Amino acid sequence: MNNQKYEKLMKKCFALAKKGKGKVEPNPYVGAIIYDEKKDEILSFGYHKKFGFAHAEVDAINNLKGSCIGKTIIVNLEPCFHYGKTPPCVDLIIKKGFKKVVISNIDPNIKVRRKSVEKLKQAGIEVKIGILEKEGAELNKVFFKNMTRKMPYVMMKTAVTMDSKIALSNGKSKWITDDYSRNFVQKLRSSYCAIMSASGTILADNPRLNVRYKNKKSPKRIIFDPNNKIPLDYNVFNDDVEVILINNSDIKAPSHVQKISFDGDFEALFKKLYEMGIYSVMIEAGKGLNTELFKAKIIDEINLFMAPKIFGSGISFVDNIELNEIEDCIKLKDLKIKKLKNDLLVNAKIG
């Protein structure tokens, strides 16, 4: 069968996998389809619904009315090899008599990586890898970063004018973008484990940093305030969600606030956050923290909302990152530009 047919089926797997968003973390998003190549017919499908529940392959097999023998299973991530919350999917696939396994991405987890593929081949099962590989990696970008770096996936969001200003020189910033863009930001927030901001932004705006949609969970809040500038009665310390306060003072924080110290090492800080169960972080801060995170090479992705306005002077979203050569600049890739209502959304990966 040609790749075009597999790509069409893999897109269906991606759509199934996305149904697990917000429910399966820290596991990846996975969908599976059982397919009869002779009849060109989808026989069943499944996806990983919740952490600890059946994996996508198992769900699809359980939903099948009939035999798996001689059939093809299409799955966006290499089947698991090890015992975790559930037994290895690769063993079940072999036991059920599948003829072919079609995969988008190899699992980056060292416990799995290519081991399942090799075991399937040794069992005489045909394995096809790399169908819509780039799209599959985008779907599971958080999981891939978690597995390869033991750090959260970090996305920076900022709202700027056409001349890249986030505020006037006097600090006023409400509102640069329109209501539509700000609602879009709410959706972004709801897809991240935590939202991180710093003292400058919080003191200027006293934001809530929550999600104002019904049935959408607000992310945890990470407050970067090593020098103890933010009063504890500010909105970010509300007890509606868990709060992580990065602070080097001896203040006594409320019971829902977990305080950790910071020694200047951002990579160590984000590895600590990962160990605390923070798998993805959205940065909503000013030029101070933004600049330090760029310099420390912490940022993976940027979403820049650009309003059709010009300030002429004011505060930029990033400051001096101490470059001496043009080739040393921060480079963006996979650039996407989307027209919203009145504003533009520029999305890009870093480096």
Write out the catalytic residue numbers. Answer: 57
Task: Give the model's pLDDT for residue 65.
Answer: 93
Task: Give the model's pLDDT for residue 1.
Answer: 67
Task: Give the model's pLDDT for residue 35.
Answer: 97
Structural domains of the chain, ranges and CATH numbers in brackets: 3-145 (3.40.140.10), 150-350 (3.40.430.10)
CA distances from 186 to 177, 189, 202, 342 (A): 13, 5, 17, 17
Q: What share of the chain is helix, strand, coil (3-state, %, to 5)?
A: 30, 25, 45
pLDDT digits (tens, 9 = 90+) for 41-55: 999 999 999 998 999
Pull the structure tokens for residue 207. Answer: 């934001």
CA distances from 167 to 63, 158, 170 (A): 54, 11, 8
Residue 91 contacts residue 97 (beta carbons within 8 Å):
no
Which parts of the chain register pLDDT below 50?
none
Residue 64 contacts residue 72 (beta carbons within 8 Å):
no
Residue 169 contacts residue 313 (beta carbons within 8 Å):
yes
pLDDT digits (tens, 9 = 90+) for 128-149: 999 999 999 999 999 999 999 9
Task: Give the model's pLDDT for residue 88.
Answer: 87
Burial bucket for residue 169 (CB in 10 Å: 0-12, 13-18, 19+): exposed
Indicate yes or no: pTM above 0.75: yes
Residue 2 contacts residue 9 (beta carbons within 8 Å):
no
Task: Give the model's pLDDT for residue 219.
Answer: 95
